[in-house]
Amino acid sequence: MFRRDLLFGGAALLGAAGLAHLGSAMAPHGVQELVVQQATYQLRHQRTAGMVSLSSDAPPPVLYGRQGQEMRFTVRNTLDEYTAMHWHGLRIANAMDGVPYLTQMPIGPDERFAYAFTPPDAGTYWYHPHCMTMEQMAHGLTGVMVIAEAEDPGFDSEEVINLRDFRLDAADAFLPTFTARGAARGGTMGNVQTANWRKGPVYDHSAGSLVRLRVVNTDTTRIYKLYLDGGMARIIAWDGHPVSVELPVPRAGAPLLLAPGQRVDLAVAMPVEEGRQVGLMADLPGQPPRLMAGLRAVGSGPQRDLAELKPLARNPLAQPDLDRAELHEFVFGWTPEGDAPNDGFCGTLGYTFWSINRTAWSGDAATGTTPLAVLERGKSYVLRLRNESPNLHPIHVHGLAFVPIASNRRSLPPLWTDTMLLLKDEVIDIALVADNPGDWAFHCHVIEHQKTGLTGFLRVT
């Protein structure tokens, strides 16, 4: 059985098939130490060196917490470069958001930083560095966070699938994490697609049982096109938050776009026949459909029905008042070639290609950067996100959740999110209540775009 570390922040859900073992890093008072370190792992044929994880020979573990309960982490940096840890999608205090220079100083070699926060929302979230972001994420440091509902939603088991690519050469050594050509266009794609760092892992679940499948795209670049093969299913949450509308289950020919940073939770009814499988499939350009991960029915149990599940409890999200909302516009596009951003200790790619409102981010460590907008705490806003480029951009806002209300290209279901995929030439209006004070990073989650200008921040005062 594949080894997985399940770290618990309180009495969390147990993983599937009883394969949980308690992480060794649990110190007194519930503080978990997360040691950012070099790792090696066999991703393909041979072991790949130079990976970055939280242990020397395994993917970053799933971090478990519970809605409304405090989580504490000490991040210790054993690399010889800087880092900082960000908790993607969690609406927590600004000082704990992990953005270098904006909310904290980068964590140097041999330094630590104590994070403590209380997730207000249940759901599927994730964590990744926000300093040396390109290098450390591309080399492995992307992990999932599961925040359990205060009340057990009634699944028999769950499975967490962390989708991401690596860029390896024929000898399974890392290729450069990006190319200038990619950074100026759609981003540089990896060539080894993995789920939990494995190629098409298959996980056993009881025949007839109800499984919660949490799928997270933590890749630096790829917009995954996913669908389910076999089994009855329902989409129950999107980007952490329960969905209140019926969404079509993605099937062959009608896949779901899951952009970097986005998550989808599915309720899956396992087949009753032992050995039958439900496949999480990906459409990859120029390739036959790929099994990213499978759920295999084992044993025999009572057949449960999706209808037995009651809807997930809503997260405490403030409803924007659209009649009073103030409009702010943001344009995402190219920028005339400029100076490389001043990223201080947090890594520059050496180019500027992208911009927000025609201004490229001058760098994490640049002095005198000003917010793209100043929002008043408690007020409602509509942000108009305009993509004037032919490339797709998953636009992410830290610390706040928002809901799309209009698009010039499609009808969008009202799904609460923190990361909105903008299609070519698309203009999307999103609405939010500025209810969390602080300076919140606002950027494209294609990391090459983020690091070459498509970054800024919103200030909530």
Q: Which does 421 bind (CB under 5 to 8 A by kind): Cu ion, ligand C2O, none?
A: none
The answer for residues whose C-beta is within 8 angstroms of residue 82's C-beta and 6 or more apart is 100, 106, 107, 108, 109, 131, 132, 345, 346
Give 66 or 393: the residue with its C-beta nearer to Cu ion: 393
280 touches Cu ion (CB under 5 A): no
Task: Name which of ligand C2O, Cu ion, none residue 444 binds, using a CB cut-off of 5 to 8 Å depending on partner kind.
Answer: Cu ion
Smaller CB separation from Cu ion, 20 or 36? 36
400 binds Cu ion (CB under 5 A): no
Pairing of strands 419-422, 393-397: antiparallel
Residue with tokens 């969905």: 243
SS3 161: strand
443 binds, among Cu ion, ligand C2O, none (CB under 5 to 8 A by kind): ligand C2O
Q: Which is nearer to ligand C2O, 122 or 346 (CB)?
A: 346
| Least gap, CB of 455 to ligand C2O (angstroms) | 8
CA distance 185 to 391: 6
How many CA atoms within 13 Å lie on the side-chain side of 440? Answer: 29
What is the smallest separation between the CB atom of 107 and Cu ion, expressed in angstroms? 17
- Contact partner at residue 261 from ligand C2O, Cu ion, none, CB < 5 to 8 Å by partner kind: ligand C2O
Under the binding rule (CB under 5 A), the answer on residue 212 touching Cu ion is: no
Report DSSP state, residue 143: E
182 within 8 A of 354, measured Cβ to Cβ: no
Name which of ligand C2O, Cu ion, none residue 393 binds, using a CB cut-off of 5 to 8 Å depending on partner kind.
Answer: Cu ion
**Best CA proximity match to 77, nearest among 38, 110, 116:** 110
Number of other residues whose CB lies within 10 A of the CB of residue 386: 18
263 binds Cu ion (CB under 5 A): no
Residue nearer to Cu ion on the CB measure, 304 or 393: 393
The residue to which tokens 């993607």 are assigned: 88
Q: Work out whether 446 is an interface residue with Cu ion (CB under 5 A).
A: yes
CB of 446 to Cu ion, least distance (A): 4
Summarize as ranges the residues that interact with ligand C2O (CB under 6 A).
86, 88, 128, 130, 261, 396, 398, 441, 443, 445
Question: What token pair was written down for 180?
Answer: 């200038």
Measured distance CA(38)–CA(221) in Å, rounded? 22
Q: 197 burial class (0-12, 13-18, 19+ CB within 10 angstroms)?
A: buried
Instruction: Decide which of Cu ion, ligand C2O, none touches 446; Cβ closer than 5 to 8 Å per partner kind.
Output: Cu ion
User: How many whole angstroms separate alpha carbon 140 and alpha carbon 53?
Assistant: 6
444 binds Cu ion (CB under 5 A): yes
Q: Supply 323's token pair.
A: 């009649």
Cβ at position 105, least distance to ligand C2O in Å:
17
Q: Which stretch binds Cu ion (CB under 5 A): 88-96, 102-110, 149-157, 275-283?
A: 88-96
Of the two residues 88 and 139, which places its CB atom closer to Cu ion in the complex? Answer: 88
Task: Name the minimum Å distance from CB 121 to ligand C2O.
Answer: 15
| Least distance from ligand C2O to the Cβ atom of residue 155, Å | 26
Q: Which is nearer to Cu ion, 67 or 133 (CB)?
A: 133
Q: How far is the CB of 257 from ligand C2O (least distance, A)?
A: 17
The only residue of 205, 263, 398, 443 in contact with Cu ion, by rule CB under 5 A: 398
**Does residue 393 bind Cu ion (CB under 5 A)?**
yes
Dihedral-angle region of residue 123 (phi above 0 means left; psi in -120 to 50 means alpha; beta otherwise): left
* Binding partner selected for residue 164 from ligand C2O, Cu ion, none, CB under the kind-specific 5 to 8 Å limit: none
Contacts of residue 34, defined as CB under 8 A and 6 or more positions apart, other chains included, come to 25, 54, 73, 74, 75, 76, 85
280 vs 397, beta carbon nearer Cu ion: 397
Q: What residue spans of 102-147 are helical by DSSP H? A: 133-138
∠137-7-269 over CA atoms, to 5°? 90
Q: Contact residues for Cu ion (CB under 5 A)?
A: 88, 393, 398, 444, 446, 449
